[in-house]
Chain A
Amino acid sequence: MATLEETNAAIVEGDESLRRRDFINIAAVSFAGVGAVAVALPLINQMNPPADVLALASTEVDISKIAPGQAIKTSWRKQPVFVRNLTPQEVQQANAVPLSELRDPQTLAERTKPGKENWLITLGVCTHLGCVPLGVGEGENRGDYGGYFCPCHGSHYDTAARIRKGPAPLNLMVPEYAFSSDTVVSIG
């Protein structure tokens, strides 16, 4: 190895800057450092979701019983999901809002599937600090914009579940989903 020659050369020249012992010292401490990292990685990684949690990452929802104007709460990855059948008025209301007025500009069409604009599927997790907004149940406060209202810190979402007022930074998240048939949605 080159290092040995260097070390010998250093001794010949009487150069104190790289001694054999310095090399051993650096090599030993580096080796211990690599070992410490190798131990730290699994210790950190073990806190990630385990295999059984990852295996629950998709769910199927039957939407045949949801009448226009109604919504249901279901669960995906242990988080609430809102599935809402929008009325034509609500769709119209959402489409009438100019994008410039929005904090997180998105059209209703971008938040739904083509030809299924009345089906608004979002996570029921407020983008502020994670509470479940009201508005799914009959008679619940739907906020100033007729969508959802988060009671924790007063975020108002409109009929397309876009943030309109309050501290939340983003629209309610639309999860990845697909229509397996006209009445069944597969989320995740």
Chain B
Amino acid sequence: MSFAWAKPYEPKTELGRWIDDRLPLPRMVFNAVGGGYPVPRNLNYGWNFGVLSGIFLTIQIVTGIVLAMWYFASADGAFNSIEHIMRDVNAGWMMRYAHANGASFFFIVVYIHIFRGLYYGSYKAPREMVWMLGLVIYLLMMATAFMGYVLPWGQMSYWGAQVITGFFSAFPVVGEPIRVWLLGGFAPDQAALTRFFSLHYLLPFVIAGVVILHIWSLHIPGSSNPTGVEVKTEKDTLPFHPFYTAKDGWFAGAFLTIYAAVVFFGPNALGHPDNYIPANPLATPAHIVPEWYFWPFYAILRAFTVDFILPAKLWGVLAMFASILLLFFLPWLDKSPVRSGSYRPMFRIFFIILLVDVAILGWCGGSPATPFFVALSQIAAAYYFAHFLIILPLVSKFETTLPLPNSISESVLHGERAEAAPVGQSAPAN
């Protein structure tokens, strides 16, 4: 589906017509990312991160396939095969650093993408399905990243596998059998490593499949935009190509420059030195933390220290899973008819507090479990849930929103004086 004024696909050559009659693939591309897909004309740089996520998924799949050509999923040989890739394989160091840092950048991009959606209310009707499919992608990414981190079979890999599969042992009765079943043993070993490798190779393609559904469901209503006002006329849109292909292209180049700088000049900046020590099932590293992109969840996990009806361990695990599952209900928790945070002054304040809160959770998750950090993560975790379960519903009920522009084109083409007005403040009519 698309807007009525979308340019229809017209093959220009005889061959193009011949193909279009038999396999309308060029037509599909034209209608999805070509001149036949009208997009709101006022998208800001926040909207570049969807395409960028796709680029990083591709980078991860390409470098991952290369690494799998050299990697052995063997408890005895995995660590050495990684060192072999680093030292002997042509450009192997580059492939591995591109993949390891690619994971971090994939998460950076996806987090910006998610928070953009949170700020501009992109999860609201009619885009609930887009939002939920995005969360499914995010969960799959977390599973994939975790299993990938286990593969080098260093100390952090091993103990990461031990701790994360340990989550399941928190559940009463069935927990421990599930943990043993997941590992294929009583501790991480050959069976766990081989299945993690198998699934680590599989899941990116599952992600790619869900990405297709995500884009499909997005293309039904079309992209949201910084005003949150729906597209009304042709004046509100621009064709995806050449306008957004150019913008996405230039932004991808700029962002990949930062990525390349990290890959080449600070490839281990985001990693842990302990993972260059081969796995040792008899000694845990003194300070075990997950990769940075899991820190907020790790902080929530550790925030529960007191048994209350249920054991503290189970509370921690439940809260950690709940912190993400909660987001599936977000479209129905935030009932405000106004989408964009730019027109919601109260929401905007709480949104900024949420950002700070998640950053604090991340800080706690990356720090040792000292009493200070445990206490801080308890406050921050409580606030995280309060934001979604209490604050958002109340804000959407009591907030006075700013007047919305009549249309996207009006908000874009409203003259110099209004253009210079502070974000979200309605300009005097000219």
Contacts and interface: CB of A to CB of B under 8 A. Distances in A.
Contacts of A42: 90-91, 94-95
Given A43-B62, A46-B95, A32 B88 contact: no
Interface string A37-56: 00000110111101111000
A50 B62 CA distance: 19
Size class of the A contact interface (CB-based, 8 Å)? 10 to 19
Interface string B80-124: 000010011111101100000000000000000000000000000
A160 to B, nearest CB: 38
A32 B66 contact: no
Contact of A50 (B89, B94, B250): B89
B311 interface: no
Given A28-B250, A42-B90, A42-B94, A50 B69 contact: no
Among all A-B residue pairs, the 4 with the closest Cβ atoms: A42-B91, A50-B88, A51-B88, A50-B89
A46 B90 contact: yes
A33 to B, nearest CB: 12
Q: Interface on chain A toward B: helix, strand, loop, or mixed SS?
A: helix
A144 to B, nearest CB: 43
Contacts of A50: 70, 84, 88-90, 92
A28 B249 contact: yes
A32 B253 contact: yes
B123 to A, nearest CB: 33
Contacts of A31: 253
Nearest to B63: A43
Interface of B: 62, 66, 69-70, 84, 87-92, 94-95, 249-250, 253
A31 B256 CA distance: 13
B89 A46 contact: yes
B249 A32 contact: yes
A32 B245 CA distance: 13
Most buried by A among B62, B69, B87, B91: B91
Given A42-B94, A43-B66, A46-B90, 4 more contacts: A32-B249, A45-B91, A46-B70, A50-B89
Contacts of A43: 62, 66, 91, 95
A56 B419 CA distance: 69
A48 B90 CA distance: 7
Contacts of A35: 253
Nearest to A41: B91
B235 to A, nearest CB: 23
A31 B257 CA distance: 13
Contact of A46 (B84, B91, B250, B253): B91
A19 to B, nearest CB: 14
A52 B95 contact: no
Contacts of B87: 51
A116 to B, nearest CB: 36
Contacts of A32: 249, 253
B88 A46 contact: no
A159 B322 CA distance: 78
Given A32-B249, A32-B253, A47 B88 contact: no
27 contacts: A28-B249, A28-B250, A32-B249, A32-B253, A42-B90, A42-B91, A42-B94, A42-B95, A43-B66, A43-B91, A45-B90, A45-B91, A46-B66, A46-B69, A46-B70, A46-B89, A46-B90, A46-B91, A46-B95, A47-B69, A50-B84, A50-B88, A50-B92, A51-B87, A51-B89, A52-B84, A53-B88
A51 B70 CA distance: 13
A45 B94 CA distance: 12
B66 A52 contact: no
Nearest to B87: A51
Contacts of A52: 84, 88
Contacts of B92: 46, 50
B72 to A, nearest CB: 14
B116 to A, nearest CB: 25
Nearest to A51: B88
A20 to B, nearest CB: 15
A158 B302 CA distance: 77
Contacts of A28: 249-250
Nearest to A38: B260
Contacts of A48: 90
B17 to A, nearest CB: 27
A157 to B, nearest CB: 35
Contacts of B91: 42-43, 45-46
